[in-house]
Amino acid sequence: MSDAGHPCLQCERPLSIEHVSCPHCGFALGNGEAPEAWMGEVIDHKYEIEELLGAGGMGMVFRARRARLGDEVALKILFPHFLKSPLQRRLFQDEAIATAQLSHPNVIVIYDADIDPTHQVAYMAMELLQGQTFKDLMLAEAPMAPAALYPIFMEVCDGLSAAHEVGIVHRDLKPDNLFLADAGGGRRVTKVLDFGIATVAGALKEDESNKLLGTLRYMSPEQCRGEACGPAADLYALGVILYEALTRQRATGKTVEAILYEETPPLNERLPADKQVPVDLEGLVMELLRKDAEARPRSALEVRRRLKALADPFAQLNDAPPQAPFGARADARAHLAASALGAPPPPPLRSPARAPAGPLAEGDPVAQPAPTPVVDRAPPPPRATLLIASALCIFAVAVSYFIFR
């Protein structure tokens, strides 16, 4: 067998088949077997492994075929050495439970999860997606135009909102975990993947799961401090991803200290004049990156609403409830005025009926306007009469003054 039997799953440098960890980057390779060693294996008598799709910090993902149904799934296998850690076993199980609870088009579907006693590995069977990760798209196209990002991140917010509503925090949101899945007809749908270190909000702060877990580049300051994390941690990671997609530059330094104390430069300071982004978008991203979790937007739903307003400036106008017709508004003002004066309200105004639109067949009835009622009114007095009456009143007052003085 060749000394360069396979590349490292993380740094892609060649490795010997006997390596149990990469000598270049230290990436653990599970039980020391190359990914090719898993080909043809049947996991838990259910899933026959056919092809390696990728790998992450906790395990490998294969294309597999279900023995009974004959269809294909994505099969995630936890690296065997993680089974020695109760925390890692629990996190893997939490991922399955947490994601299975979410029935949402923007979250990957989980079919099955268990531990295979024969191979001594934990596994998870998921829907098999076709498409690309957002990381691949970002590497190819960043700095990206805001218009290309709005629909993607509105769907990410929908998926996160569904998770947050049931108390689930992702805690490891990053471009690798956002998948742009082909939906047919040239359409794509964004899926949030890998709730690998998801935690149920409200767990005890002393819980071991609050240790430094996640990908440092996308970790929030509170995560770096080892504090219990809420939805605001996911929103911070969302801000980091947006910042990188818009600028092709890191939002923070490469150390915990940088994340905790260094201020991120505003987006437009890092962009040339022809790549400047809208001020409201810049403001939203910088709010997501605030060090104080309480100062970030309140929810993924709020972020989605603001992204939608940026994508379609007229959306809020279109979503506003229709105003009452003029006659109804006039009626309302008349009723308020009458109420203030203690008078009975006037009868409501009525708009004349309109003929139906479009051509009419011969003999079709046509709505006629209601006749205007005729009211007998006395003619107004002429202007000269008013002047004479006023003069007589003044004369009478003067005479009275001289008589009774």
Q: Which of 153, 126, 27 is nearest to 79 (CA)?
A: 27
Catalytic residues: 172
Exposure string for 50-82, b = 16+ CB within 10 A, e = fewer: eebbebbbbbbbbbbbbeeeeebbbbbbbbbeb
DSSP string, 333-379: HHHHHHHHHTPPPPPPP-PPP-PPSS---TT---PPPPPPPP---PP
My answer on whether omega of the bond before 272 falls inside 30° of 0, hence cis, is: no
CA distance linking residue 22 with residue 14, whole number of Å: 9
Q: Which of 353, 346, 71 is nearest to 63 (CA)?
A: 71
Helices (H), 142-184: 146-165
CA distance linking residue 152 with residue 136, whole number of Å: 14
CA distance linking residue 365 with residue 353, whole number of Å: 13
Tokens for 147, please give them. 């218009």
What is the sign, positive or negative, of the torsion defined by CA atoms of 268, 270, 275, 277?
A: negative
CA distance linking residue 212 with residue 197, whole number of Å: 11
